[in-house]
Copies of this chain bind each other. A is one copy, B any other.
Amino acid sequence: MTMSNTGGRRRPPTIHDVAREAGVSRGTVSRVLNGGHYVSPAAQEAVNAAIRRTGYVVNRHARSLITGRSDSVGFLLTEPQERFFEDPNFNVLLRGCTQALAAHDIPLLLMLAGTQDERRRITRYITAGHVDGVLLVSSHSGDPVAEELREAGVPLVACGKPIGLGSKVSYVAADDRDGARDMVRHLLSLGRRRIGVVTGPPDTPGGVERLAGYREVLAEAGVEADERLIASGDYSRASGEAGAERLLAQAPDMDAVFVASDLMAQGVLAALRRAGKRVPDDIAVGGFDDSPAATAATPALTTIRQPWDRISNEMVRVLLAQMGGEDPAAVILPTELVRRESA
């Protein structure tokens, strides 16, 4: 019953064909397509029937040409790509955003801009209006792309608080500091007192906030701070391994370690195993993210869950709102302690 057409018409049906088929004008069809206001029930029905019969789908290019919108949003990665693709969180985020957008029938364009050159090209591409908004995933500060897009007036939502920028840019983030506090409190509750930390890079919000939470809780608990218990990594597995080795050398009496990402925690576990330390008996290990890496690790990681599904949903919600003219907004979501074997 569908797709029936006079003869072997090869070209897809246009709004004209639908109008003729329904016995109304282009304008009326267009109105039905765009919400159906000021259309009589009879016309509404006739048009819908004609659309079904002809198999009509709106030509987005023609629509975009006149509306100036593209009805698509970009998912932009401005970091060296290895990082993101190695990080399981990224997958979850990408999937969540794709799905949230699909619910609004908005396709997502994936854009990778790892090099300086690519970044320039992508910025031009975006500012030329090929997407209506951008979901930005870039943890490091000093990222010129975000600033340029903001200036160009492109609706933008970052994942995690962009450090360098003012409050004029929207972002959605988990409550890093609070999550870190929960974890360190948990380690304290296990009786540990010599608690080390492997932080993220100091130019990322996760690097700063998680360390701050760690310091706060120790101070509140009256545990003596010790800089030898602090090492910094870059969220990669390898840097976790290196960090753990440093800590073991500097503070052999360490009895727990809070690691700012599950991936780094995997590296920490490897280093501890090599050093002959049992986890959690000798040293308890706490991760952060609750990524697939947490359950893949041996022993399975006690970690802080970032609510990635909610994060992606909120990012999309805030972006759409901004595309609709609303002001930028910041959303902070709570984290949750997930207890497994490592602590």
Interface residues of A (CB under 8 A from B): 12, 57, 59-62, 64-65, 70, 72, 75, 81, 85-86, 88, 91-92, 94-95, 98-99, 102, 105, 107-112, 118, 121, 124-125, 128-130, 237, 266, 270, 273, 292-293, 296, 298
Contacts and interface: CB of A to CB of B under 8 A. Distances in A.
Contacts of A118: 102
Given A61-B65, A298-B273, A95 B70 contact: no
Contact of A108 (B65, B86, B110, B298): B110
Contacts of A86: 91, 292
A98 B112 contact: yes
Contacts of A112: 95, 98-99, 102
A343 to B, nearest CB: 19
Contacts of A125: 107
A296 B108 contact: no
Given A108-B109, A130-B107, A124 B85 contact: no
7 contacts: A61-B70, A81-B95, A98-B111, A108-B109, A109-B110, A237-B296, A266-B296
Contact of A65 (B62, B107, B124): B62
Nearest to A81: B95
A118 B91 CA distance: 19
Task: Tell which of A57, A107, A118 has the most Cβ of chain B within 10 Å.
Answer: A107
A17 to B, nearest CB: 14
Nearest to A60: B130
A64 B95 CA distance: 28
Contact of A298 (B99, B107, B110, B298): B298
A121 to B, nearest CB: 8
A269 to B, nearest CB: 9
B111 A107 contact: yes
A202 B50 CA distance: 45
B70 A94 contact: no
Contacts of A111: 98, 107
